Structure 1
Amino acid sequence: MAVYKNREAFIPHSRTDIIQLCLQDGQLSATSAEKFKNFCQILSAYYHFRFHKTQETIKDNYAPFDPNTNVQPLTQPTFDQYKEMELKVVDAFKHILERANYIPLPASVVQESVGKASLIDLKTQVDFEDFELFCCYYQGDISKKISVKKLFFWEEEKIIDVFERIVLLIKFKEEAYFSAKKVKIEELKFTPGKMYVYFYKNIPKLDIDLLFPNVATSMNWKDRLLFGIPAIGAAIPLLLKTLPNLLLLIAAILLVLNASSLVESLHVEQEKVRNVLPILVATLSLGMGLGGFAFKQYTNYKNKKIKFQKDITDTLFFKNLANNAGVFQTLIDIAEEEECKEIILVYYHLLTSPTPLNPEQLDSRIESWMEKKLGTKINFDINGPLNNLENIRGKAQRNASEADSAHQKPLLSYDNQGFCHVLPLENALAVIDDVWDNAFQYNGIALYGGSASALKFH
């Protein structure tokens, strides 16, 4: 089984397209093709049902951590319940991302992005101590050539590393931690103790830090120079112009302090100094001049800061796919699609292969088939769908007797040589149909009778 470092397990085609591709492959007769479509339909419905349970688990346990919720619980969870609910959310989050063929991103890679610039040239700082936990997953590690606007009409082409999809989960520490840091809670851009989940597309590796709610941004050294040098250049003529009035003001102060000798050293006419009105005018002129200059520079700084914030907002707004509770729903749909696509591909190729295949040979066959048919190079995850097919068990014959029902068969089994074998379509349809029919079991005298019925999930 080949391992490709530059390939991912994600299948960039829809489940419907994969099924259609199998049907167009010419390996199935018209009758078998119809049965195969039915098999895929029931299989997809079954996995939709299974992932719905995961969705309900997340919904029930994420509520206390959702910063956007408007639902109030009847009773607040205890500390132990609170920690258990947090663990269930994080475990389910990681589970669906792995099922969706997303890859964990090490914390060290995220931390390395802080202070480095890619598309948005900003100085950034993220305090990772604010987090009780955070985890990050990605899909699609690619390089892109982009044009970056420099001076006037000049554009520079550069190649940057980009994550096509990136998911980030952050749990902030409680309010007591931020109060101890002397931080004003009402000024925070997030709610302490809450769990934030973000889903973005096409994010440069070095701009991951901009996704964090507690990121602090400021001008880099280049922008400081571009801002500071013109300010100094504009200040010098202003100071030269106001210098005579400044000298008059200093001389008047010294005269009040009976420091006549120091007044003479300034070479200022004492008659002008003793005349109060010109000094007041000079003082007012100096104050207005410096005040106006300071206000202008402050306005320029604020405008520059607003431009930076706009750059960040524009970049992230158009790349945002979902937030918080919406992320879980989106990821569950992706995971469900991936799970079904993998199982369908494995079952189809074992069904149509003229010779028995072991897992390594099956893996290579599927990868070569995908590249030949679609030009798509993937590193197929063979173990997941094999385990799923082996764990789907049911009656292999329709209308089987109670005695036969005790001998449930798996969709996939192995022989003594390690080769994989799947049930023929007719039997596979019976098994998946039996599994679907028994997804719910109602224990009681009658479904609509007077006795209570217990609902059990398999």
Structure 2
Amino acid sequence: MKKDRFIPLRKTDLIQACIEEGRLTCEQQGEFTALCHLIVSTLHFEYHQVLEELKDSYAPFDPNSDTLAVTQLNANVLESKQAHFSERFIQVLNAANFEQVTDQDLQEALQEESLFKVRLAVEFEDFEDVVFYRRGEYQQSETMSKFAGLFKKTITFTNYDKVAVYIKFKDENYFKYKKTRIANFEPGSTIIKLFQNVPKADLEMLFPNSQVRMRTIDKAIIGGSALVGGAVVLVTKLGASLLVLAGILSYWFGLTNKEVTITTQELLALGVGAGVLGGFVFKEWSKFKNRKLRFMKALADNLYFKNLDNNSGVFHHLIDAAEEEECKEAILAYYFLLSEGKPMTSEQLDTKIEKWFEDKFDFPIDFEIFDALGKLERFGIVHSNAGQYTAFPISSAQAKLDAQWDALFNVVSAPQTQ
């Protein structure tokens, strides 16, 4: 299975793990911690600006907005804001080390049987845009019970730690033409959701318009029960009514010349038969509806514990995740360049970090080396020469980052007029 870019440690724990390596002096350890705090603060400021951009771009499409719209935006402005939001949102997902769920993965998920024994149908034509991203892919085993626990089977499936869903519905004209009753969403709106612990086979349950359908085995169980019950009712309770009804129909269709005289007793038999038949049909229909309701409850219960956030809350969550990942990448790259004390190529540094992480935490990762070095070069705390990278001493790196931090808040006062 492909290694994840996600670094499964809190940045505080990662800094402590670097210090505990023992490759820095006591003085350097304090300086290194202070430098890490500067890196964290700088990236936090940068991502705060990204968050404000996302909030402004998403505001016209937010179905949960509780603020007044001061101006009416035209179609061109709305389209521009939608495009900007989509672009920025995908950048944040990539920075948070999420991977896009491919069309092939999605099709496989739709074809596989759900782990919680519910068959779902999704109307893809309702969507203008659908994007799924996931983070943390691994194999998991679970024991499933069958036939009231008489049989058990262990299955292995692909599980995703986090799944982000970005969906834009088609406009109101589409749903009017389709004559679809709109209940749970607003046409033209964009919904964003974040889920956790989602089996690949159950991705279809994350769609907002997914509908529960009866599986073949469920139809067979209900149909078989109806046939057996119907046969019993037919033989034991509807015999007299059917004889009367058969006589009436035979006379009407000319199959016999014998007139049928319907007495009070026969009318009573027909009435009882109709009542029994109606009760039987209602009972079987109730069984079908109750079984479907149980499946819908299973779906709702499953989603309740998997849902992490919705709409604007999602990109608040993802901004924090992206900031965390960016910090960890920069800290790891700088630490290993510093502790080696000699120039290294990007390939050498990448290999060293991935090996260290796997040896120390028994967790293979695909380290984002170019992204990490790009941040360090932007901060001006590493030097590159002919493909070889060298870390500036901690004191110099602190001074450079400190100067950049101060520059962020240097407001030049306008000259006062007399």
Query: TM-score, structure 2 length as denominator?
Result: 0.95
**Identity of matched residues, %:** 34
Is 2:409 the counterpart of 1:440? Answer: yes
Q: Tell me, what secondary structure is at the counterpart of 1:438?
A: helix
Q: 1:105 aligns with which of 101, 104, 108?
A: 101
Aligned counterpart in structure 2 of residue 247 of structure 1, from 243, 248, 251: 243
Aligned match of 1:370 in 340, 357, 381?
357
Q: Note the C-alpha offset of 1:258.
A: 9.6
Given candidates 252, 272, 292, the residue that maps to 1:305 is: 292
Cα 1:12–1:258 change in 2 (3 A) is closer
CA contact (8 A) 2:92 2:318 kept: yes
d(CA) in 1 for partners of 2:187, 2:230: 44
Residue number in structure 1 paired with 2:391: 422
Provide the residue aligned with 1:194 in structure 2.
Answer: 189
Look up the equivalent residue of 1:230 and give its one-letter code. S
1:365-404 paired onto structure 2 within 5 Å: 365-392=352-379
Instruction: Compute the displacement of 1:248 (Å).
Output: 1.2
Structure 2 residue 45 is matched with structure 1 residue 76: no
* Contact 2:135/2:162 (<8 A) preserved: yes
Q: Do the aligned partners of 1:145 and 1:159 also contact (CA within 8 Å) in 2?
A: yes
- Structure of greater relative contact order (alpha carbons < 8 Å, 6+ residues apart): 2
- Alignment check: 8 A CA contact 1:10 1:338 kept: yes
Preserved contact between residue 346 and residue 388 of structure 2 (Cα < 8 Å)? yes
From 132, 138, 149, the counterpart of 1:136: 132
Q: Corresponding residue for 2:256?
A: 262
**1:152 shift after superposition:** 1.8
1:127 to 98, 123, 128: 123
* Match among 316, 319, 332 for residue 332 of structure 1: 319
Residue of 225, 229, 233 corresponding to 1:230: 225
Aligned to 2:382: 412
Q: Which amino acid aligns with 1:427?
A: S
1:211 aligned onto 2:206: yes
After TM superposition, list the pairs within 5 Å mapping 1:21-32 onto structure 2.
21-32=17-28
Residue 165 of structure 2 is aligned with which of 165, 168, 171?
168
Describe the shift of the 1:52–1:258 C-alpha distance in structure 2 as closer, same or farther (beyond 3 A).
closer
* SS in structure 2 of the partner of residue 109 of structure 1: helix
- 8 Å contact kept, 1:118–1:160: no
Q: Decide which moves more: 10-19 or 239-248.
A: 239-248
Secondary structure of 1:274's counterpart equals coil
In the alignment, structure 1 residue 220 sits paired with structure 2 residue 225: no
2:83 maps to 1:87: yes
Tell me which amino acid in the other structure corresponds to 1:160.
Answer: F
The CA distance in 2 between the partners of 1:27 and 1:335, in whole Å, is 28
Q: Quote the residue 2:303 is aligned against.
A: 316
- Amino acid paired to 1:413: H
Is the 2:342–2:390 Cα contact (8 Å) retained in structure 1? Answer: no
Instruction: Find the residue that maps to 1:367 and give its secondary structure.
Output: helix
Instruction: Please give the secondary structure, in 2, of the residue aligned with 1:262.
Output: coil
CA distance in 2, matches of 1:375, 1:383: 23
What residue number does 2:112 align with? 116
- Give the aligned CA root-mean-square deviation in angstroms: 1.9
**Aligned counterpart in structure 1 of residue 13 of structure 2, from 14, 17, 42:** 17
Q: What is the TM-score with the length of structure 1 in the denominator?
A: 0.87
Question: What is the count of residue pairs matched by the alignment?
Answer: 416
| SS of match in other structure, 1:68 | coil
CA distance in structure 1 between the aligned counterparts of 2:32 and 2:253, rounded to whole angstroms:
107
Give the letter for the 1:175 counterpart. E
What letter corresponds to residue 381 of structure 2 in structure 1? L
Rg (Cα) greater in structure: 1
Instruction: Give the deviation of 1:130 after TM superposition.
Output: 1.3
Q: Which of 343, 355, 359 is 2:346 aligned to?
A: 359
d(CA) in 1 for partners of 2:317, 2:253: 80
Q: Which runs of 5+ in 2 are unaligned?
A: none
Residue-by-residue CA offset, 1:367-402 (whole Å, 9 max, x unaligned): 12212322222111100011111112xxxxxxxxxx
| Equivalent residue letter for 1:165 | K
Deviations 1:92-125 (A, max 9, x none): 1111111111111112321332243131223322
Is the CA contact 2:93–2:318 (under 8 Å) kept in the aligned structure 1?
Answer: yes
Change (3 A) 1:168 1:291: same
Q: CA deviation at 1:211?
A: 0.6
